[in-house]
Structure 1
Amino acid sequence: MEKNSAEKNYTFDTCEAVFSENSSLEKHQKIYTKSYSCEACDFSSSCSASLARHVRTHTGEKPYRCEECGVSFAQNSALKAHMRTHTGEKPYWCEVCGSKFSQNSTLRTHIQTHTEVKPFTCEVCSLSFSRKHSLRVHMRAHTGEKPFCCQVCNSSFSQKQHLEVHTRRHTGEKPFSCELCESSFSVKSRLRRHMQTHTGDKPYPCEMCGASFSQKENLRKHVRTHTGERPYGCVDCGSSFTDNSKLKRHRQIHTGEKPYSCGVCASAFAQKVQLTKHMQIHR
């Protein structure tokens, strides 16, 4: 027993002497720590799995596939979050108002609506945002960047969801259905507006004439009929308009854009009402 104890003390003393000879124990531990480095950039990690996940940002590989809809993801965690869109599971809930969310990131963003914290500020116009992503999207209004392009008519958009809504004009898809009648809509906001035709709710009154509106934006547009304000100006000819939708329609005169395509023939139109009239030919 004494011999074994002496051997252990000798071993410990020897190791201590080795590590004290060249600075610190921490320095020597780093020598024996494995490091996995990316060949395409400066990324490195002590975990091989972390490196494998990182490499997919270069290769575009998406090995995790949803069996419900076929969408693929680079990370397994992203697939798990996506699956909740099919199951309806919302495990993250707000302690302030009780709202539930499928993703923790969405909950964090929601909580900021209670705190009104907006740490990301635009250096051009000083607007503030609760999310960095929202600021990046907003900056496209200044830069004119439209990275999302329609493969049918080549129209481009600053936001991915705007492209998705636009694509439904070509496909005719209307995934948002009214539970009270047979109406269906391509955009969820239009379903919400439609529901007010059943309820008759108009919570936004005009202080100048007493007219009431179901949408706050409609009230803002209406007020301009009293003030004469036309905040949306055309950069090509100087014409101004009371709302952005009228400016967009006007801009098509200059650009020649025809985003409304017929699903039966190759005809395309600048305005939706023109497409509606055209469809009567096929009927």
Structure 2
Amino acid sequence: MDESKSSEGGIRLRSRLAVFEHITEENKPKKRKFGSSRYNDSDDSSPSESELVIDETPTVVKKKHKKKPSIKISEEVLNLKCEWISCDSIFKSWIELNDHLLNHAGANSGTMCLWTNCNTDCKTVPFLMQHVSYHGYLTKLKNIGSNVLTRESLPECKHEKSEKIILRKEGYMCEWEYCMLNFYNVCEFYMHMEMHVNANPREANEKKNEIILCDWAGCKLKFATKYKLAEHLRTHTHEKVMACPTCGTLFANRTKFVDHRKRQLSEHLQSYQCSQCLKLFPTERLLREHTRSHINHYKCQMCNMTCATPSRLAEHIRFRHLDMKPYKCDQCDKAFKTKYNLATHIKTHGEDAESCEFCSYKCRSKVGMQSHYKKKHDQSAPIFECHTCKKKLKRGQFLTKHLMKIHNYHWPSGHSRFR
């Protein structure tokens, strides 16, 4: 632990897990200390009670904050407003809102979604019903997110609003053993999965042969309670429990939503710093989570590449060692290894959507526009520095070329870049 004191016992700085905190000496809890050394009971030289030196400095008792009672997702009070054109109905239940939206879709003369600011043409009535049902799902999740914000003081979200509803031509398949039902309605699908969870006892009891098991295809994990099973099942069904009411991002639990908001704190308010990359974080937990990214625990069996997480290792194997390209473009003969790469490629078939405000350059993606801006118009100061000669450069790739060409550095075996 590193410490430094100010001249008059002012501020003491300490680092812990690369965490930098400011603790004033006057607020630091004092402990009652006995000023005697070790001694044996049989030793005549042991001090008497009157000889024990006691530090009588008054202790500062830290007030315990009462933990606010947590509210279960199922107990959240809902006020779900229908945003269908010329409708201002409000519902207390997601199921009621879903039924109401399906009535709107069924009564609609065409296949155009009339939800406020949507106007998506779903092509067929079944797809329109799937689409409007998802609007209801998003409304519920954002309502729960709003409830959390009213109970907790969290930073504002600065992200742009984005609500993408992707039609699932194959519907929502329940892969529970001996079930395999298919649903075109997200509400009915998640209600159905809740039925599978509730078929279990509240707690597992092996003596009574009461086992709580995930029967999703290829799983078979056991759980202590049905609530843990419900939480786990979301990894299979991709169900979310709340959304940011500002930007619409979906979250699988409350912690991730809170992290989403806290990450957007102004940099000068983020007081936890990584000692490796100097990145700042708003909480110690987020810093601890980040520090794991600097340690590579997982090694590829086919080369010397090492990764910080299993998902990064899987991504490496997919790109470096496998030839499978399951995602095919329906407008040309190209295929890709990930959905993201396919989505990026599909934009090349459309019109240029991005225009540079400084010149006549146009492109189809925000990533392409950002790359153009950095190359042609960015006047900001260099942010990369060579640790050998202290030369400053604007981009990471320029630093890489500099290290290899000028200083004869090479990437570690199995890696494709410096870290």
Scaled by the length of structure 2, what TM-score is found? 0.35
Question: Which structure has more helix as a fraction of its residues?
Answer: 1
Using CA pairs below 8 Å that are at least 6 residues apart, which structure has the higher relative contact order? 2
